[in-house]
Each structure stands twice: as structure tokens, then as C-alpha cells.
Amino acid sequence: MASHSDTLVVFFGATAGANGGKLGSDERELILLVWQIVDLHENKVGKLKRTLVQPDSADVSEQCKEETGLTAEELCKAEPLESVLQQFYQSVSAELKSLGRSSYTLCVDGPLLIQQVLHPEASKKNLVLPECFYTFVDLKKEFHKCCPNAGPVKDLTLTSMLDYVCVPAAVEQEAGMREVKNMVLLILHLLTEPYNHTFSTFETVNYKFESGACSKTEAVDSETVIRARGLPWQSSDQDIARFFKGLNIAKGGVALCLNAQGRRNGEALVRFINSEHRDMALERHKHHMGNRYIEVYKATGEEFLKIAGGTSNEVAQFLSKENQVIIRMRGLPFTATPQDVLGFLGPESPVTDGTEGLLFVKYPDGRPTGDAFVLFACEEYAQNALKKHKQILGKRYIELFRSTAAEVQQVLNRYMSTPLISTLPPPPQMVSVPMLATSPFITTGSTRDCIRLRGLPYTAAIEDILDFMGEHTIDIKPHGVHMVLNQQGRPSGDAFIQMKSADRAFMMAQKCHKKMMKDRYVEVFQCSTEEMSFVLMGGTLNRSGLSPPPCKLPCLSPPTYAAFPATPAMLPTEAALYQPPLLATPRTPQAPAHNPVPALAYYSPQLYMNMNMSYTTYYPSPPVSPSTVSYFAAPPGSVAAAVAAQPAPSILPPQPGALVRMQGLPYNTGVKDILGFFQGYQLTPD
């Protein structure tokens, strides 16, 4: 059988948009194909063939009309791409048979026609290209071997190459035929003295993308990596490889990026086999994947390794099975076993190698995370598994998604690097402002003598929290348990507890983190009173950062939760009861007449009262209330003055006034009714 170098098929094409060096960059369709056979053994040429291709859209750019002379009317009469490719294959095969040859290789003027136009368009139209389109000879690279002094490959053109070897260009007027004749002249010249060139270097296009694992110790050239943005969230690595069809992606070179919650964020890092393919990938900036356009930018090897690199031998062994479809399962019960998962998937979607094809994601201490990855031998099995999306296993519904080798690495890396004791972000910078009426139980500070409980059952009461803490209950400060409520005034699943010292808070976090309360595990973080006050005033505090307190008018909170018996409540006077206009215009803080309260670290009222900001999911929880930022002024009245004159209990600083909250009032209650309710109550010196 003749080798590929015995026969070349010189191949040329044009699109309805940009051509030349920008061929394929605008996603336009093929409208013209021209080819001619060159017998390298006999130095003979075959017939010159030219055919038009009918695009789906007959819109032809002005530049294309000028360069090719084609019109939309001519193209409407042409055959579609599938028929033209079939004609090409049959014509070349018949001519080769007449020449006594059995194989051939395409020869093109640069890789753009094959890699940037033909393969992407065939992929979008679901056409199966003949095998001949996966191997080709780049005439520019072959010429550069013979004439290295002619200049860089990327700067070479047919005209410049013919001029360099002193071969007159063809005078053919019809577009496409002129370019093919010039390419044939150049090939025949390179076959003779003094070059006697042998066409032996063949460019190849991968048939499919190969998944695989990437080690963090692997060297990744930054000139081979791009970042793709705007991907549909359900995109798999195969979908991304299809978007870059025609370009060779390195094995395991697609890494889907995840956000802080472990979900895909619409970005991916893609690693190509060399910089040439990376540069062609950049030309696909804002090409379309379905109805969405994809942005393509340069990236670095460090970024790729950060996402796709792994060090786990378990992951490497799991991903060592080639040609497997990976499915991610999320939301598994923590008690789920491999047999439970296999039974859930059923016999219609058998897992590769049974339990060996399952990889459960765990925390460093071995606790399950509820995530798992599954290998399937073929697309059919994976599709059967995906049909079970959101079906029930145990008491939980399970989410199933297509996944990638890089996503396996990311998820494993993220969970394995999770500290056993999580820490909250540093507190924001506080602004010291004098307050009129602060909570009698909280003084803010940066000492981390508080703990935060997150993930409490919504039915949890104070008694449940005390049982949860066990022996650490003795380290709670008086009135030191504070529940956080949601917008409906119901428990949000969070609580703060003030401990007697930072050391006690640290020990509590160490021993109780991820401990079970009823049927849920509770996260326990060490924090400061500043952070606690921040959340209790309506802000949010989580791993992703700080959000300011709410800005709309606040709602008072239910009675104070306490771990110890409450002290007698102080009763308000008429002056302590707010009037409705005060809600819209908070009063400016005034110096109290008796025993001024020291300035405490709190948030600036201007920040809290910006009415244009959006509300958060938290309402303030007692004893901290928006009244502490002068929403409700409490000028000293007769009762308040009497209270301030009395020796204060050790846990209560002197107060110029106080507020109580009344629940269950009739809807038609007025101020007079409330004042009448409190008549007869007096505070005696005893």
C-alpha cells in the first residue's frame, strides 16, 4: 500500500465571512471548496475541481463578495455541506483508483480551514467527517523546512513563498482555483532540485477528548492554557471539547471551575497540546455554544494546576480507568453504603467494576460529605443514571450531574483541605459612637470569647442548646445565649453564646464542632462579641465574608433568652414609649442627665440607616436591638432617674432608661391603652 506521502490532495475553502488569516474567527459557514490531486511519485496533477456549498444562512459579507465574487443567489442553488463532502470523497477515491493509488493526505495552506472551519461546522451540524479530514499537511510548515530563512511560519503567504523561490504565480481569475494552482506550483517546485523535499510531517486532529488525572507536580506551560467563561452550568468536559472541536486538548485538559459552594460557576480552564492550538482557541472568543456565546481568555499554568491538579493516590486510581463517563452524586445520606448506591442506580446503569467504580468524598477525619462520583462504561449507562435525578434514597433526594476528572480533583482537594475547626473571617472595623441605651448584657470587644452555633434544628430550644453543650454550660456568662431569628421571627438555625473566656470558647468549639443535636450536626465556631453583635443587629457573617446590617425600619425582638434566671425587668415611663414619628426620623443621641454610659464600639448609625440598601435575612435578636442606635430615644424620666439612682446589680451597668416589648396586643390598641396598662406600677427603693 502506498504511503501517505505518495499522493496529496491540495485543498482550499472559503467562508461567507472573513477569509485568509482570519478564516473561521467569525463562525461563518463554508461556501466554497476547491481541490486537486498531486501524485508525488510521478510528479503529476489531476483534475481541478471546484464546488459551491449552500450555507444555512445565505447572508454573505461584502468582503467575501469582493474576494470570491460569489452572490447569495448562486449559493442558494448549491448543495449542502454534507452532500458536497460526500461528492469530494467519491471524486477523490475514483481518481486515485485510476492512478493506481489507494491513500492520500490533504494539503492545505495553513491549519485554519481544517481546524477552525470544517471540524467546528461539522460538529455543530452533527456531521461525521471522513477519516481523511483528521490528518493533513501544512504547506507553510513544509516550505519553512526547505527555506528556513523565508521568515516565521505565521507570516508566510502563498505570494511570499512563490516570490522567495522565484516561481511566477498563476493568473487564474476565479477565486479558489487561483489559490489551488499556486499551491500545486509550489509543491512541484519543492519536489525538484535543489530541494528534493519529502512530505513526511503530518498534522493530526484528535477524534475525541481523553479524560484523565493531572498531578500538582506536573509542569504546565502557560502558553497552552485558556479560560472559557459563560458556559451553561450543566456543561461537561465533552461539551467543552466539542466547542473547541478541531483543536487538540491535552489529556485531562478540561477543568470546570467551582464556586465557594462547590457548584459550577460557568467557567472552565482548558489546556491544549501546544501554543499554536491555544492561539486558535483564542480566536473562538464569543463563538456560540447553543444559544450562549462563550468568552475565551488567556490563563496560566498555575491557575490550571490549582483547579485540576491533585495529589491523592485514591483519585488517581479512580481516574485511571480510561474512556469512562463520570457522574457526580450529591446529597447522599451520610449512612449510605456502596451497596445502597448500586441499588439506587439499578441494573439498567451498571457501575464500572462495581464498588471499585464508586468514589465517596469525605472530610479529612473520614466523615462523609454526601458527595460521590460514579464511573460508567458508556453513554447509555450514564443516561440511565441521570434519569434518577432527584429520586429518593433513604429520606433524601439525590442530585446527579455529568462530571469531569478535574471536578473530581477539585471536590476532593476542597474537602480534604477543610480544617476540622472552621474559623470565621476577621471582624470588620468598628466605629465608636456614644449610645443612649445599650443592652445591659453585651459589651462589645475583639476578644474571641463567644461561640456561634450554626445548623441548629429549627425546633431547638434553649434547653436543647444547654444539653448539647453538656459540661461546658458552667462556662456560659449570665444571659449569654442569643438566638438569631429570620424575617418571620422564627429560629434561623443560628445562635450565639457568650463564654467566660476565650480559652473556654476555644475548648467548646474544639469538642462540640459537628456534634449531633437531634438528627442534625451543628457547626461550632469561635468568634468575638463584635462579630456576634454584628449578626444580632441584622448583618450576616459567613465564610464568604461580611454583609452589613439591614437598613429598613427594624422590628423589635422577643424576650431575652438566657441560660440563667433573668433579673427584674425595668419598667418604662411615658417618655420611654416611642411615638410613631420617631420611626421615620431617628433622634440624635443626647447626653444623659444621670450616670453617662461609656462609649461602646458599635456600627455607625449612618451605615445602619441607609434606606436604599437591601434588607437581609436576619432580624436583630435580644438583647441587642436597633434601639441601641437611637431609633427609639429614651430620655430620662422619673422612673428612669429613680432606677439610675439605685445601686445597680453587678451584671447591669447604670441605665438612663429602658424598653420592654409587649406581644399579643389587640390590633386597635392605642398609646393611651398602653399607658393605662402600666398605671399603678411603681418602683420602690426596696
Nine cell digits for residue 320: 485511571
Longest CA span, the chain: 123
Structural domain includes residue 674: no
For residues 199 and 252, membership in a common domain is answered with no
- Counting Cα atoms < 13 Å in the Cβ hemisphere of 574 gives 6
For residues 296 and 375, membership in a common domain is answered with no
CATH of the domain at 56: 3.30.420.10
Dihedral over Cα of 348, 353, 357, 360: its sign: positive
Nine cell digits for residue 85: 463532502
Q: What is the rounded distance in angstroms from the CA atom of residue 183 to the CA atom of residue 629?
A: 82
Count of structural domains, the chain: 4
For residues 44 and 141, membership in a common domain is answered with yes
Three-state DSSP string of 148-196: HHHCCHHHCCHHHHHHHCCCCCCCCCCCCHHHHHHHHHHHHHHHCCCCC
For residues 304 and 320, membership in a common domain is answered with no
Q: What is the rounded distance in angstroms from the CA atom of residue 268 to the CA atom of residue 477?
A: 50
For the chain (686 residues), the mean pLDDT of every run of 10, in chain order, is: 69 92 92 93 89 89 88 90 93 89 90 95 93 94 92 91 92 86 93 88 90 81 95 86 95 84 85 95 94 94 85 72 84 92 93 90 86 91 92 91 81 67 44 38 70 89 87 86 78 89 90 87 88 74 52 39 40 38 40 44 34 32 34 40 47 53 76 72 52
CATH of the domain at 478: 3.30.70.330
Distances (CA, A) of 3 to 8, 57, 199, 358, 606: 11, 40, 11, 46, 81
Boundary residue ending a domain (257, 274, 309): 309
For residues 64 and 155, membership in a common domain is answered with yes
Instruction: Give the model's pLDDT for residue 312.
Output: 64
Instruction: Give the model's pLDDT for residue 427.
Output: 46
Structural domain includes residue 591: no
For residues 194 and 46, membership in a common domain is answered with yes
CA–CA–CA angle 8, 10, 12 (5° rounding): 155
Structural domain includes residue 543: no
Nine cell digits for residue 469: 453543650
Beta 264-272 vs 105-108: how paired, if at all? unpaired
* DSSP summary character for residue 126: T
Dihedrals phi, psi of 667, to nearest 5 degrees: -65, -25
For residues 263 and 401, membership in a common domain is answered with no
State the alpha helices, DSSP H only, in 208-337. 237-243, 275-282, 301-308, 313-318
CB contact at 8 A, 30 and 15: yes
Boundary residue ending a domain (309, 335, 355): 309
For residues 142 and 124, membership in a common domain is answered with yes
Dihedral over Cα of 294, 298, 299, 301: its sign: positive
Structural domain includes residue 434: no
For residues 149 and 162, membership in a common domain is answered with yes
Range of the domain at 501: 450-537
- Counts for the chain of helices (H) and strands (E), in that order: 21, 29
Boundary residue ending a domain (505, 537, 569): 537
* DSSP summary character for residue 472: G
CB contact at 8 A, 653 and 597: yes
For residues 58 and 194, membership in a common domain is answered with yes
Structural domain includes residue 555: no
For residues 48 and 172, membership in a common domain is answered with yes
Burial class (CB in 10 A: 0-12, 13-18, 19+), 258: middle
Structural domain includes residue 603: no
Q: What is the rounded distance in angstroms from the CA atom of residue 475 to the CA atom of residue 466?
A: 11
* DSSP summary character for residue 28: P
Q: What is the rounded distance in angstroms from the CA atom of residue 558 to the CA atom of residue 250?
A: 61
Structural domain includes residue 243: yes
For residues 188 and 47, membership in a common domain is answered with yes
Structural domain includes residue 671: no
Closest CA to 475 of 506, 454, 437, 446: 506
Q: How many residues does the chain have?
A: 686
Beta 135-138 vs 105-108: how paired, if at all? parallel
